[in-house]
Structure formats: C-alpha cells, structure tokens
Amino acid sequence: DAMVIQNPRYQVTQFGKPVTLSCSQTLNHNVMYWYQQKSSQAPKLLFHYYDKDFNNEADTPDNFQSRRPNTSFCFLDIRSPGLGDAAMYLCATSRDSGDSSYEQYFGPGTRLTVT
Amino acid sequence: GQNIDQPTEMTATEGAIVQINCTYQTSGFNGLFWYQQHAGEAPTFLSYNVLDGLEEKGRFSSFLSRSKGYSYLLLKELQMKDSASYLCAVRDSNYQLIWGAGTKLIIKP
C-alpha cells in the first residue's frame, strides 16, 4: 500500500543532543511537510518542500533544519533539542500545493521526548 | 492575523448525532478540510469543501458558508470509535493550511 512512513515512532534524546527524524513516502507526491504538534494544539508547520524547493516558515527556530535528498525521503534535524521541543513530529505529503483540493497524507508521527 | 476557532471539547452519546462547528478568519480562502485524529496518531482526511453547501460522505457530512466564514462537521449514528479529535483546516491565498486546535469528541455509551 502507498503510504507515508516515519521512523522511529518514539525517540528519546538528551537535552542538547542532536537528533534526526526520518520520513519516507511511496505516494510519489511532490510536496512534503514537517509539522510539530503539542498536546491539544494545532499542528504547526515547520517546513515544506515543493519538489526540491525548500520553504521555511518565518517562525521556525534555527535549531530545526531539514533535508530532502530525493522525492521519497525527508529528514528533520534538531541540532540542540530543548525541553520545549518535546512534541509529536508529523510528516505529511500532498500532490501539488497549487491545487487547493489535494489533501495532505500524514505519517504516523514520531513522538520526541527530551530528558 | 489568521484564526480558526473550534470548541475545545464536546460529548455525545453513542447512536446520536453531533455537529462540530468551525469559524475562520484567513487571508483568502482556497478550501476547507476536516481531519480526524485519534489520540497519539496522525490526522486522517475526512472531507473537503470549497463551494458553499453540504458534502455528504456516509455517516459524515461537512457544510460550508464562505460568506459567514463558517463550517460544520456532522457525524451521524455515532460509534465509540468516533471518539477522537476533529481538526478544521483552511487553505489560504498562499495555499498554506491554517489549522485549528481541534475539537475533542467524547462518545459515551
């Protein structure tokens, strides 16, 4: 089945220790997104890629970086995680950000704990 | 600023009908989405509205009034598995999705 896969599902890291979260997709969608979601809050968009074009949200901290080496894979790097970065990180894909009807498909998320 | 408002929590009874409202103020409008999110899981797509009116999909229906900046999600014949958060999201003039914080729906037997 075509899908969005995130690894790991649960990640524990220490304060200040770099961590990388990964996302892959078999949907062949050209747009990929990274969201941060804290409990009972709206998903917050961190970045999105339209093909290889990188789009950084204005309020995404510099501590967060992203890479998309090819269509299928996307990575989220947190250079120095703080306690406030503990959250669910959701990867999503869609076919084309220029067509308003295309919904986003989400991976299962990675729950990050910072100790 | 851009804003999506939904009730924080609602409670309903198994077998009943519930309506979850969403009001929005965004810079432009290019469609409204409803997503379902079970606790600890990713959101899954439920419905999309871009024109005024009602879209029906099985037990779920979604309504849109663009002039009022208003939508609702109607769930019929509620089942225990419908206990989840329901997120409203609007695509703005830049085709970015603006998300609401979600409405937690609790179903009681």
* pLDDT of the residue at A97: 61
- For chain B, state the CA radius of gyration: 13
Higher pLDDT, A101 or B43: B43
Verify whether the Cβ–Cβ distance A106 to B95 is below 8 Å: no
Mean pLDDT of A53-62: 87
Return the pLDDT at B95: 81
CB interface of B with A, residues 56-75, below 8 Å: none
Neighbour-count burial for B56-85, b at 16+ CB within 10 Å, e otherwise: eeeebbbbbeeeebebbbebeebeeebbbb
Alpha-carbon distance of B33 to B26, in angstroms, equals 14
Tell me B28's DSSP state: S
> In angstroms, what separates the C-alpha of A100 from chain B's closest C-alpha?
6
Contacts of A100 in chain B (CB under 8 A): 30-31, 50, 91, 95
3-class DSSP state for residue B62? strand
Q: What is the pLDDT of residue A57?
A: 85
The whole-number pLDDT of residue B30 equals 92
**pLDDT value for A59:** 87
Instruction: Evaluate whether A106 touches B43 at the Cβ level (below 8 Å).
Output: yes
pLDDT at A58: 80
Average pLDDT estimate for A84-105 = 87
Q: SS3 sequence, chain A?
A: CCCEEEECCEEEECCCCCEEEEEEECCCCCEEEEEEECCCCCCEEEEEEECCEEEECCCCCCCEEEECCCCCEEEEEECCCCHHHCEEEEEEEECCCCCCCCCCEECCCEEEEEC
Contact A42 B4 (CB under 8 A): yes
- Mean pLDDT in residue range A47-76: 91
CA distances (Å), B60 to each of A96, B18, B23, B86, B106, in order? 26, 10, 18, 12, 16
Q: Which of A41, A90, A103 sits opposite B42 (nearest CB)?
A: A90
Residues of B in contact with A101 (CB under 8 A): 31, 48, 50
C-alpha–C-alpha distance, residues B49 and B38, integer Å: 22
User: Which tokens belong to B104?
Assistant: 């937690």
Name the more confident of A56 and B101.
B101
Phi, psi of A48 (to 5 degrees): -150, 155
- Write down the pLDDT at residue A53: 86
Interface of A with B (CB under 8 A): 40-45, 88, 90, 97-98, 100-101, 103-109, 111
**Each residue of A11-24: pLDDT tens digit?**
999 999 999 999 99
pLDDT of B12-67, one tens digit each?
999 999 999 999 999 999 999 999 999 988 899 999 999 999 999 999 999 999 99
CB contact under 8 A, A40 and B96: no
CB within 8 Å: B95 and A97:
yes
| Confidence label for A55 from pLDDT (cuts 50, 70 and 90) | confident
